[in-house]
Structure 1
Protein backbone atom coordinates (compact mmCIF):
# COMPACT_ATOMS: atom_id res chain seq x y z
CA UNK A 1 0.00 0.00 0.00
CA UNK A 2 2.69 2.51 0.97
CA UNK A 3 4.73 1.72 -2.17
CA UNK A 4 1.75 2.74 -4.30
CA UNK A 5 1.41 5.94 -2.28
CA UNK A 6 5.09 6.85 -2.79
CA UNK A 7 4.70 6.11 -6.49
CA UNK A 8 1.53 8.25 -6.65
CA UNK A 9 3.30 11.23 -5.06
CA UNK A 10 6.37 10.78 -7.27
CA UNK A 11 4.16 10.67 -10.36
CA UNK A 12 2.20 13.75 -9.24
CA UNK A 13 5.43 15.67 -8.69
CA UNK A 14 6.26 15.11 -12.36
CA UNK A 15 3.75 17.89 -13.10
CA UNK A 16 5.45 20.08 -10.49
CA UNK A 17 8.96 19.67 -11.90
CA UNK A 18 7.80 19.83 -15.55
CA UNK A 19 5.65 22.88 -14.81
CA UNK A 20 8.58 24.73 -13.26
CA UNK A 21 11.04 23.70 -15.99
CA UNK A 22 8.68 24.71 -18.81
CA UNK A 23 7.03 27.67 -16.96
CA UNK A 24 3.75 25.86 -17.61
CA UNK A 25 1.02 26.89 -15.20
CA UNK A 26 -1.46 24.40 -16.69
CA UNK A 27 0.80 21.63 -15.36
CA UNK A 28 1.32 23.46 -12.06
CA UNK A 29 -2.45 23.88 -11.67
CA UNK A 30 -2.78 20.08 -11.71
CA UNK A 31 -0.46 19.69 -8.69
CA UNK A 32 -1.14 22.86 -6.65
CA UNK A 33 -4.42 23.02 -4.75
CA UNK A 34 -6.24 26.25 -5.78
CA UNK A 35 -5.92 27.51 -2.17
CA UNK A 36 -2.22 26.62 -1.82
CA UNK A 37 0.30 29.12 -0.53
CA UNK A 38 3.80 29.94 -1.77
CA UNK A 39 6.24 31.36 0.77
CA UNK A 40 9.92 32.26 1.12
CA UNK A 41 11.97 34.33 3.57
CA UNK A 42 15.44 33.82 2.02
CA UNK A 43 15.95 37.52 1.25
CA UNK A 44 15.01 38.69 4.75
CA UNK A 45 11.40 39.59 4.01
CA UNK A 46 8.42 37.30 3.61
CA UNK A 47 7.25 36.49 0.12
CA UNK A 48 3.74 35.05 0.52
CA UNK A 49 1.61 34.41 -2.54
CA UNK A 50 -1.59 32.62 -3.44
CA UNK A 51 -1.81 30.70 -6.71
CA UNK A 52 -3.78 33.62 -8.14
CA UNK A 53 -0.65 35.76 -7.74
CA UNK A 54 2.03 33.10 -8.25
CA UNK A 55 0.88 31.67 -11.61
CA UNK A 56 1.09 35.02 -13.50
CA UNK A 57 4.73 35.33 -12.34
CA UNK A 58 5.48 31.88 -13.75
CA UNK A 59 3.68 32.73 -17.01
CA UNK A 60 5.75 35.91 -17.38
CA UNK A 61 9.21 34.37 -16.97
CA UNK A 62 11.29 32.66 -19.66
CA UNK A 63 11.33 28.96 -18.93
CA UNK A 64 14.53 27.14 -17.98
CA UNK A 65 13.75 24.82 -20.93
CA UNK A 66 13.73 27.76 -23.37
CA UNK A 67 17.19 28.77 -22.10
CA UNK A 68 18.55 25.23 -22.42
CA UNK A 69 19.26 24.94 -18.70
CA UNK A 70 20.07 21.47 -17.38
CA UNK A 71 17.42 20.02 -15.10
CA UNK A 72 18.39 19.72 -11.46
CA UNK A 73 15.10 18.55 -9.94
CA UNK A 74 14.87 15.68 -7.51
CA UNK A 75 12.79 14.40 -4.62
CA UNK A 76 14.98 14.24 -1.50
CA UNK A 77 12.41 12.68 0.83
CA UNK A 78 8.74 11.90 1.34
CA UNK A 79 7.24 11.54 4.82
CA UNK A 80 3.67 10.57 5.61
CA UNK A 81 1.57 11.92 8.47
CA UNK A 82 -1.29 9.63 7.45
CA UNK A 83 -2.84 8.13 4.34
CA UNK A 84 -3.81 11.51 2.84
CA UNK A 85 -1.13 13.85 4.24
CA UNK A 86 2.54 14.01 3.25
CA UNK A 87 5.62 16.21 3.45
CA UNK A 88 8.06 16.33 0.53
CA UNK A 89 11.53 17.83 0.47
CA UNK A 90 12.56 18.51 -3.12
CA UNK A 91 15.27 20.39 -5.00
CA UNK A 92 15.31 22.16 -8.33
CA UNK A 93 17.05 25.05 -10.10
CA UNK A 94 15.96 27.99 -12.21
CA UNK A 95 18.81 30.09 -13.56
CA UNK A 96 21.34 30.77 -10.80
CA UNK A 97 18.80 29.98 -8.07
CA UNK A 98 19.01 26.51 -6.54
CA UNK A 99 15.91 25.78 -4.50
CA UNK A 100 15.10 23.58 -1.54
CA UNK A 101 11.33 23.17 -1.54
CA UNK A 102 9.35 21.99 1.48
CA UNK A 103 5.99 20.85 0.12
CA UNK A 104 3.01 19.82 2.22
CA UNK A 105 0.64 17.64 0.27
CA UNK A 106 -2.86 16.32 0.75
CA UNK A 107 -4.78 13.70 -1.19
CA UNK A 108 -8.15 15.16 -2.19
CA UNK A 109 -10.44 14.15 -5.03
CA UNK A 110 -8.32 11.00 -5.42
CA UNK A 111 -5.12 12.90 -6.29
CA UNK A 112 -2.14 14.36 -4.44
CA UNK A 113 -2.01 18.17 -4.34
CA UNK A 114 0.43 20.69 -2.89
CA UNK A 115 -1.15 22.80 -0.13
CA UNK A 116 1.98 24.80 0.68
CA UNK A 117 5.35 25.44 -0.85
CA UNK A 118 7.83 26.98 1.56
CA UNK A 119 11.27 27.28 0.10
CA UNK A 120 14.85 28.54 0.40
CA UNK A 121 17.22 29.33 -2.43
CA UNK A 122 20.95 29.74 -2.86
CA UNK A 123 22.56 31.65 -5.69
CA UNK A 124 25.16 29.69 -7.62
CA UNK A 125 27.34 30.76 -10.47
CA UNK A 126 26.94 29.08 -13.84
Structure 2
Protein backbone atom coordinates (compact mmCIF):
# COMPACT_ATOMS: atom_id res chain seq x y z
CA UNK A 1 0.00 0.00 0.00
CA UNK A 2 2.70 2.50 1.00
CA UNK A 3 4.92 1.89 -2.07
CA UNK A 4 1.85 2.03 -4.29
CA UNK A 5 0.85 5.38 -2.74
CA UNK A 6 4.36 6.82 -3.24
CA UNK A 7 4.31 5.80 -6.91
CA UNK A 8 0.80 7.21 -7.38
CA UNK A 9 1.77 10.52 -5.77
CA UNK A 10 5.00 10.72 -7.79
CA UNK A 11 2.96 10.16 -10.97
CA UNK A 12 0.51 12.89 -9.93
CA UNK A 13 3.37 15.31 -9.26
CA UNK A 14 5.01 14.46 -12.60
CA UNK A 15 1.71 15.29 -14.32
CA UNK A 16 1.54 18.52 -12.26
CA UNK A 17 5.08 19.48 -13.36
CA UNK A 18 4.29 18.69 -17.01
CA UNK A 19 1.06 20.68 -16.84
CA UNK A 20 2.82 23.74 -15.45
CA UNK A 21 5.85 23.48 -17.74
CA UNK A 22 3.96 22.91 -20.98
CA UNK A 23 0.96 25.08 -20.05
CA UNK A 24 -1.23 21.99 -20.45
CA UNK A 25 -4.31 22.96 -18.46
CA UNK A 26 -6.05 19.65 -19.15
CA UNK A 27 -3.21 17.79 -17.43
CA UNK A 28 -3.06 20.36 -14.65
CA UNK A 29 -6.80 20.16 -13.94
CA UNK A 30 -6.59 16.39 -13.40
CA UNK A 31 -4.14 16.95 -10.53
CA UNK A 32 -6.36 19.16 -8.38
CA UNK A 33 -9.56 18.66 -6.43
CA UNK A 34 -12.23 21.00 -7.82
CA UNK A 35 -12.33 22.98 -4.55
CA UNK A 36 -8.56 23.43 -4.14
CA UNK A 37 -7.10 26.79 -3.20
CA UNK A 38 -3.63 28.18 -3.74
CA UNK A 39 -1.91 30.45 -1.23
CA UNK A 40 1.43 32.03 -1.93
CA UNK A 41 3.97 34.70 -1.21
CA UNK A 42 5.65 36.11 -4.31
CA UNK A 43 8.28 38.71 -3.42
CA UNK A 44 6.27 39.76 -0.34
CA UNK A 45 2.98 39.97 -2.28
CA UNK A 46 0.18 37.68 -1.10
CA UNK A 47 -1.40 35.37 -3.67
CA UNK A 48 -4.76 33.66 -3.17
CA UNK A 49 -6.68 31.96 -5.96
CA UNK A 50 -9.19 29.21 -6.48
CA UNK A 51 -8.09 26.35 -8.72
CA UNK A 52 -10.43 27.70 -11.41
CA UNK A 53 -8.70 31.11 -11.39
CA UNK A 54 -5.25 29.51 -11.25
CA UNK A 55 -5.99 27.33 -14.30
CA UNK A 56 -7.25 30.41 -16.16
CA UNK A 57 -3.97 32.20 -15.34
CA UNK A 58 -1.86 29.28 -16.61
CA UNK A 59 -3.95 29.20 -19.80
CA UNK A 60 -3.38 32.92 -20.44
CA UNK A 61 0.39 33.07 -19.82
CA UNK A 62 3.34 31.90 -21.83
CA UNK A 63 4.53 28.53 -20.58
CA UNK A 64 8.09 27.93 -19.43
CA UNK A 65 8.44 25.64 -22.47
CA UNK A 66 7.40 28.47 -24.83
CA UNK A 67 10.03 30.66 -23.16
CA UNK A 68 12.69 28.01 -23.92
CA UNK A 69 13.26 27.15 -20.27
CA UNK A 70 14.50 23.74 -19.16
CA UNK A 71 12.29 21.64 -16.90
CA UNK A 72 14.19 21.65 -13.58
CA UNK A 73 11.30 20.91 -11.21
CA UNK A 74 11.88 18.25 -8.57
CA UNK A 75 10.36 16.48 -5.60
CA UNK A 76 12.15 17.22 -2.33
CA UNK A 77 10.06 14.96 -0.13
CA UNK A 78 6.74 13.19 0.35
CA UNK A 79 5.15 12.34 3.70
CA UNK A 80 2.14 9.99 3.71
CA UNK A 81 -0.18 9.14 6.60
CA UNK A 82 -3.08 6.97 5.54
CA UNK A 83 -5.18 8.84 2.98
CA UNK A 84 -3.43 12.20 3.35
CA UNK A 85 0.01 13.35 2.26
CA UNK A 86 2.30 16.37 2.02
CA UNK A 87 4.77 16.94 -0.77
CA UNK A 88 7.56 19.52 -0.82
CA UNK A 89 8.68 20.52 -4.31
CA UNK A 90 11.27 22.78 -5.92
CA UNK A 91 9.69 24.53 -8.91
CA UNK A 92 12.12 26.97 -10.57
CA UNK A 93 10.44 28.64 -13.55
CA UNK A 94 9.55 31.94 -15.17
CA UNK A 95 12.41 33.71 -13.38
CA UNK A 96 11.25 32.56 -9.94
CA UNK A 97 12.69 30.08 -7.46
CA UNK A 98 9.43 28.57 -6.16
CA UNK A 99 9.00 26.04 -3.41
CA UNK A 100 5.60 24.34 -3.23
CA UNK A 101 3.97 22.49 -0.37
CA UNK A 102 1.12 20.38 -1.70
CA UNK A 103 -1.56 18.93 0.56
CA UNK A 104 -2.90 15.75 -1.00
CA UNK A 105 -5.84 13.52 -0.19
CA UNK A 106 -6.87 10.16 -1.56
CA UNK A 107 -10.45 10.76 -2.68
CA UNK A 108 -12.48 7.99 -4.34
CA UNK A 109 -9.28 5.98 -4.75
CA UNK A 110 -7.29 8.77 -6.44
CA UNK A 111 -4.71 11.18 -5.05
CA UNK A 112 -5.61 14.84 -5.62
CA UNK A 113 -4.00 18.13 -4.65
CA UNK A 114 -6.44 19.77 -2.24
CA UNK A 115 -4.27 22.76 -1.32
CA UNK A 116 -1.11 24.40 -2.61
CA UNK A 117 1.12 26.68 -0.57
CA UNK A 118 4.10 28.24 -2.30
CA UNK A 119 6.74 30.90 -1.99
CA UNK A 120 9.57 32.42 -4.01
CA UNK A 121 13.02 32.28 -2.39
CA UNK A 122 15.50 34.81 -3.74
Aligned counterpart, 2:39: 39
Give the RMSD, CA atoms, in angstroms.
1.2
- For 2:6, what is the secondary structure of its paired residue? helix
- Structure 2 gaps, min length 5: none
Question: Residue 113 of structure 2 corresponds to which residue in structure 1?
Answer: 114
Q: How high is the TM-score relative to the length of structure 1? A: 0.91
- Offset of 1:111 from its aligned partner? 1.1
Q: Render the CA deviation track for 1:53-107: whole Å, top value 9, x for unaligned.
A: 111110011111112201111110000132x100000111222111100000001
How many pairs are equivalent?
A: 122
User: 1:46 Cα shift?
Assistant: 2.4
Question: Which residue in the other structure is 2:63 paired with?
Answer: 63
1:78 aligns with 2:74: no
Q: Is the 8 A contact 2:43 2:120 kept in 1?
A: no
Moved over 4 A (4+): none
SS in 2 for 1:41: strand
1:41 CA drift (Å): 2.4
1:13 alignment partner, SS class: helix
For normalisation by structure 2, the TM-score amounts to 0.93
Cα distance in 2 for residues equivalent to 1:68 and 1:119: 23
Partner of 2:102: 103
**Residues 41 and 120, structure 2, Cα contact 8 Å, conserved in 1:** no
